[in-house]
Amino acid sequence: MSDDAQHGAPTRADYEVKKGEVSLAVYRKRLPPAAGEAPRPVLFLVHGSSNSALSSFDLTVPEAGEYSTMNVFARLGYDVWTMDHENYGRSSSTDGNSDIASGVADLIAATELVIRETGQERLHFMGESSGALRAAAFAMARPERVGRIVLNAFTYTGRNSPTLAKRAEQVESFRTHNRRLRDRAMIRSIFTRDHPGTSDPRVAEALADAELVHGEEVPTGTYLDMTANLPVVDPLQVQAPVMLVRGEHDGIASEEDLLDFFGKLPNPDRQFVVLPGAAHALVFGHNRHQLWHVVHAFLGMPPRRDL
C-alpha cells in the first residue's frame, strides 16, 4: 500500500443483519482497496454498556484531535468493523435487557456477515468494558472465528472493584427493569468517577451529543451481569491469544483480579498491559495513542515459536 493510501480517508459502509426478528446495525471502515490487493486483517470492535458503536469507536471531537479508533486502524491497514448491539444505536429496540448472552448472539450474527464480505475466516476483536466481556464470551462460543483478542477495561470476578460495589446498590432495579437512565450527567460521570483529568472534557460533551439522539435510556443487562453474575467468562475456555489492557486508575477491576484471569489463560501467547495515566474509558483518554500503539503491536505480532 502506498504512503498516500495509508494516509487517505477511510470510507464507511453500513449494513444490517438479522438475529431472528431483531435487526442489527453493522458498520465497516477501511481505506479504499487497490486492484488485486490481498484481503486485509479484520478488526471487530465491541462497544460497552452505556454507548453504541459509532459514538464509542468513530467519535468526532471538534478541534481536539483524532478520537476515531475506526479511522486509526483503517489507516493502519485493517478492515475495521463494529456493530450496535440489540437496544443500542440504530439496532432494533426490543423488550429484552441485552445481557452478555444476547451480545454473544449479536456477534454470531454479525460475524457471519463479516466472513461473507471479507472472505476472512478468523477476525481480531477488541472489546471495551462490557464489550470486552461480550468479546471474550464470543471467543468461548465461536473459537474458530477468533484470531487475536484485546480486552480493554475488562472485569473477571469483580473482586475489590469500587465501581461495581457502588453499582450493586441498584442490583434489584437491574433485575426488575430492563432500562436505566443514561443522560448527559451519567455520560459525564464516566470520565470523572475514577480519576478526573485523564481525558479532555470536550470528549464527554461530544459523546453525549452523539449518544443522546438515541434517547436517555439504555439496557440493564450488562450491568446486571457485572453486579450479580460474574464471572461470565471462563479464562480456561478462551483459546485465542489475549491481551488484557487496564487503565492505571480503572475502578471497575483490580489489577489482582485481572492477573488472576490472565494467569489462567491457556494460550501462552498473551500480554497484560497497564496504561499509565488512564482510567476506565481507554479509547477516550489523553493516552489513547498508547492504547492504539499496543493494540496494533499485539495484533501484528507473529506467533511465538515455541507454541
Query: What is the predicted pLDDT for the residue at 1?
Result: 35
Query: What is the predicted pLDDT for the residue at 302?
Result: 86
Mean pLDDT by 10 residues, the chain (307 residues): 54 98 98 91 98 98 97 98 98 98 98 97 98 98 98 97 96 98 97 94 98 98 98 98 97 95 97 96 96 98 73
Query: What is the predicted pLDDT for the residue at 206?
Result: 98
Question: Grid coordinates in use for 173?
Answer: 432495579
Query: What is the predicted pLDDT for the residue at 82?
Result: 98
Query: What is the predicted pLDDT for the residue at 150?
Result: 98
Q: At 299, phi and psi to the nearest 5?
A: -65, -30
Query: What is the predicted pLDDT for the residue at 303?
Result: 78
Q: Are strands 271-275 and 217-219 parallel, antiparallel or unpaired?
A: unpaired
* Nearest CA among 246, 224, 222 for reference residue 49: 222
Query: What is the predicted pLDDT for the residue at 304?
Result: 73
Query: What is the predicted pLDDT for the residue at 307?
Result: 53
What does the DSSP assignment read for 175-240?
Answer: HH-SEEE--HHHHHHHTTSS-TTSS-HHHHHHHHHHHGGG-SEEESHHHHHHHHS-----GGG--S
Q: At 18, phi and psi to the nearest 5?
A: -110, 140
